[in-house]
Structure 1
Amino acid sequence: MNLFRLDASILPGTSASAEIADIAEAEWVAAHPGATVTRRHLGTDALPADAWTLATTAAFAAEADRTEAQRDALALGATLAEEVQNADAAILAVPLYNYGISQHFKVWVDLVIAGAGPTTPLLKGTPTVLATTLGGGYGPGAPRAGWDHSTPYLERILADIWEAELTTIKRELTLAAATPGMESLRDVAKEQHAEALAAAREAGRALAER
């Protein structure tokens, strides 16, 4: 058995998304002692920003005409795609940054697609947990309702293109406890925190049973 775990927080020591993912992972590992966990942390080990460009342009060049950098980028894309495709279960911890996904996560997605093809269902039938966290509030009635341009994209890639059996755990208001002006939201934030951790335990157990 092989669990693929991806993190994208740039602050791993205090990551709210990692907290959720850690709980789900612990449930899976407890049910599969000795199993393999393949890890990739984009926040602490970012992929080269130009790799996708190199991999994409290489696809339009004859093999003999490709530069060493293009060949390396193609190989990297293939490796990343293989990590995803080989998973029996997957957990992705991806926070929202600046109302969308971060550039380092987008590079990863683009390289995986470059390595596997744009329509390959890499996670077809694979139980997958997406832990995503947002510093503010983006739900109905919030001043910035509709500004979450991350979660729909993540679900489109994971569930619709890669065909994962996806469970999304979404926690908002992660900055409320420490941000001036958000004091009135702290009780709601605590509730959402507790709900997210409970959902992580449930999702992890369900992941382990598959």
Structure 2
Amino acid sequence: MNLFRIDASILPGNSASAEIADAVQAEWAAAHPGATVQRRHLGTRPLPADAWALATTAGFTPAPERTDEQLQALALAEELAGELDRADAVLLAVPLYNYGVSQHFKAWADLVISGAGATTPVLKAKPTVLVSTKGGGYQPGAPREGWDHSTPYLRRVLVDMWQAELTVIERELTKAATTPAMESLREEAARIHANALDAARDAGRTLAASATRV
């Protein structure tokens, strides 16, 4: 069994998304002791910013005329797509940054599309858990309702394009504990935190069981 995990936080020592993903992974490991867990830390070891452009332009360049940089980008794209292809289950920890998807995750997703093909459902029949964490509140009625432009994009790519069997765990108000202006929200933030950890444990057990059946 092979679990493939992505982390996109730029703060590995204090990552809300990693904490939730750790809880998912712990349940996976308990069900599959000794199983392989392959990880990519996109936030701390980002992919080359120009790799997607190089891989894409290589597709319009005759093979004999491709530059070394284009060939390296194509090889990277194929490597990333292959990591998903070999996975039995997938775990993605992706924070909301500046109201949108992490640039590091976007670069990874674009390269996977280049490596696998735009219409290839690379996660078809693969149980997948997405952890989405947000510093503020974006639920209906919140002042910034509708400002989360990350989670809808992620659902579009993971489910509609890649056909993942997706479970989403969302944790909001992660900045409440350290932000004076959010002091009134700390009790609610603690409740959301506890619920997200419970959901992560449930999702981890389901992920492990689903992967066994794949």
Which TM-score band applies after superposition, normalised by the shorter structure? over 0.9
Q: Indicate the percent of aligned positions where both proteins have the same amino acid.
A: 70
Structure 1 residue 175: deviation in Å? Answer: 0.2
Q: Distance in 2 between matches of 1:207 and 1:105?
A: 22
Q: Distance in 2 between matches of 1:85 and 1:99?
A: 30
> Which structure 2 residues correspond to residues 33-112 of structure 1 after superposition, within 5 A?
33-112=33-112
Structure 1 residue 125: deviation in Å? Answer: 0.7
- SS at 1:123 equivalent: coil
Aligned to 2:161: 161
- SS at 1:181 equivalent: helix
Structure 1 residue 34: deviation in Å? Answer: 1.3
- SS at 1:140 equivalent: coil
Q: Is 1:171 equivalent to 2:171 in the alignment?
A: yes
Matched letter for residue 57 of structure 2: T
Q: Distance in 1 between matches of 2:100 and 2:178?
A: 22
Structure 1 residue 102: deviation in Å? Answer: 1.7
- SS at 1:182 equivalent: helix
Structure 1 residue 29: deviation in Å? Answer: 1.0
Aligned to 1:206: 206
Structure 1 residue 48: deviation in Å? Answer: 0.2
Any idea what the Cα deviations from partners look like across 1:144-194, whole Å, max 9, x if unmatched? 000000000011111111111000000000000101210111111000000
Cα root mean square deviation, aligned? 0.6
- SS at 1:94 equivalent: strand
Matched letter for residue 9 of structure 2: S
> Which structure 2 residues correspond to residues 180-191 of structure 1 after superposition, within 5 A?
180-191=180-191
Structure 1 residue 107: deviation in Å? Answer: 0.6
Aligned to 1:7: 7
Matched letter for residue 171 of structure 1: R
- SS at 1:95 equivalent: strand
- SS at 1:125 equivalent: coil
- SS at 2:101 equivalent: coil
Aligned length: 210
Q: Distance in 1 between matches of 2:123 and 2:103?
A: 22
Any idea what the Cα deviations from partners look like across 1:68-99, whole Å, max 9, x if unmatched? 00000000000000101111011000000000
Any idea what the Cα deviations from partners look like across 1:14-67, whole Å, max 9, x if unmatched? 100000100100111111111111110101110000000000000000010000
Q: Distance in 2 between matches of 1:132 and 1:138?
A: 12
Matched letter for residue 153 of structure 1: Y
Q: Distance in 2 between matches of 1:49 and 1:186?
A: 37
Q: Distance in 1 between matches of 2:91 and 2:171?
A: 15
Aligned to 2:134: 134
TM-score normalised by structure 1 residue count: 0.99
Matched letter for residue 77 of structure 2: G
Matched letter for residue 7 of structure 2: D
Q: Distance in 2 between matches of 1:95 and 1:202?
A: 20
Unaligned runs of 5+ in 2: none
Aligned to 1:27: 27
Matched letter for residue 155 of structure 2: E
